Amino acid sequence: MRPQIVLFGDSITEQSFRSAGWGAALADTYSRKADVVNRGYGGYNTRWALFLLHQLFPLLYLQDSTKPPVAATIFFGANDAALLGRTSERQHVPVEEYKENLRKIVNHLKECSPTMLVVLITPPPIDEAGRKEYAQSVYGEKATELPERTNEVTELYAKQCIALAKEMGLRSIDLWSKMQETEGWQKKFLSDGLHPTPEGNAMVYQEVIRVFYEAWLSAGEMPYDFPHHSEIDGKNPENAFHQQCL
């Protein structure tokens, strides 16, 4: 009954309902107005995401009497940008393919619903020192000296994400650039050099809300799914509910 907003992405999306997470904050903002559905898949890159597409977003929406989402965030790239020849190379996807995979995802969503608001989000920047500390905390002395991701390479992915959004006329969030505008972004916004801290989550939330509002998907403008309790007459509650059905 309520419109759906789907968050599709990797671990930064999957973990977005943790305390102070950006997904939970969105769910709270759209409370009683839209359902925020988490479709985050930790460790996934865009190549693997393609395998999920038809099941997560079936083309049968209209036949099936269920409605397609009104909006979706597409937030991949952090794993695609893992370097070849390093510990996370299994997740690597070449940047050209990353861009084309994103295009396929967008095309599929637009086929489900041409009016769906699709927002592309770039991967966050990489704090290489933070990644190294994290690897040492997990693997101890066995941690390799060479980083599995670099900020320089991740930038290439972020740029292609933004370029695709421009090509396709989509709204986008350049998280890679936005985070780096703040001094000390490495520790302020990233907990392990990659995943957002509570402050990083707050930035992702604010950016998504800003873009949603610019696209008129403003919670303030959307109706409650049932009367607000203050509109219910204690003696004749049925009046409020009948009105709702008109």
Member of 35, 97, 128, 174 binding a second copy (CB under 8 A): 35
CB 90 within 8 A of CB 44: no
* Dist CA 157 CA 137 (whole Å): 27
Stretch that binds a second copy, among 32-40, 126-134, 147-155, 170-178 (CB under 8 A): 32-40
Member of 28, 152, 167, 214 binding a second copy (CB under 8 A): 28
* Dist CA 38 CA 231 (whole Å): 32
Q: Is the dihedral of CA 207, 208, 214, 218 positive or negative?
A: negative
Size of the site for a second copy (CB under 8 A): 46
Member of 115, 141, 230, 236 binding a second copy (CB under 8 A): 230
* Dist CA 73 CA 122 (whole Å): 11
44 contacts a second copy (rule: CB under 8 A): yes
Q: What residues contact 82, with CB distance under 8 A and at least 6 apart?
A: 45, 88, 89, 90, 91, 92, 148, 149
Three-state DSSP state, 10: coil
**19 part of the active site:** no
Member of 3, 8, 9, 27 binding a second copy (CB under 8 A): 27
**Least distance (Å) from a second copy to the CB of residue 27?**
4
Stretch that binds a second copy, among 69-77, 146-154, 173-181, 225-233 (CB under 8 A): 225-233
Three-state DSSP state, 5: strand
228 contacts a second copy (rule: CB under 8 A): yes
Q: Which two tokens stand for residue 38?
A: 């988490």
Catalytic residues: 11
Query: Would you tell me which residues interact with a second copy (CB under 8 A)?
Result: 1, 14-15, 17-21, 24-25, 27-28, 31-32, 35, 37-38, 40-44, 47-48, 51-52, 55-56, 64-66, 79, 89-92, 226, 228-230, 232-234, 237-238, 241
